[in-house]
Amino acid sequence: MSRNILILDGHPDPANDRLIHALAAAYREGAQASNHTVHVIRLADLTFPVLRSQADYDKGEPVDSVRRCQDLMNWAEHVVILYPLWLGSMPALLKALLEQMLRPGFAFSTLRLGKWPVKFLSGKSARIVITMGMAAPMYRWYFRAHSLRSLQRNILKFVGFRSIRSTLIGNVADLSNARRMQWLENLRALGRAAA
């Protein structure tokens, strides 16, 4: 079954040699090969302001680039978010984009249904892909994958995402060409399966 897939390439550096860009392209290739409809947002290509106040977050109007991202988020059934681990978390610019996109009135309502806000992005699935300099098991078990867990639980599930899977790619500075090619093929396979 064909799905609408949004790929959010969350690397703020536009340099084409970044592994995140190659992984996003590989996922897109696989998804398109299986007749999924795909749109890609490249964080490095966007210009938008950083939120600086609660009032701005609650009542501010998103700029056109953010509104286009919101439209694609609404359209998507499956969202793939890829980013490098910087200082133990996602790059600040990616967090700033998510703050702009997933604001009240778009991603959730401040009105409550029982004790929880109404979630406007219910039913979507996601795949989070994180690259890092350390070994992936070290990040997952010693550091408890805190940025991954925060994105899963505190952001995506909060706005209604149901199924959220992850792929962790460690020791990226030491990846051999063969291992890099294997990761790219893994992402193509995930794209074909829209997983």
Using alpha carbons only, how large is the chain's radius of gyration in Å? Answer: 17
Residue 188 burial (10 A CB sphere; 0-12, 13-18, 19+): buried
Q: Any idea what the CATH number is for the domain that residue 101 is in?
A: 3.40.50.360
Number of domain units in the chain: 1
Residues 144 and 148: their CA atoms lie apart, in Å, by: 9
**With 90 as the cut, is the pLDDT of residue 113 above it?**
no
- Tell me which residue range forms the domain holding 122: 4-193
State pLDDT tens for residues 20-66: 999 999 999 999 999 999 999 999 999 999 999 999 998 899 999 99
Q: Which two tokens stand for residue 129?
A: 């892909």
**pTM exceeds 0.85:** yes
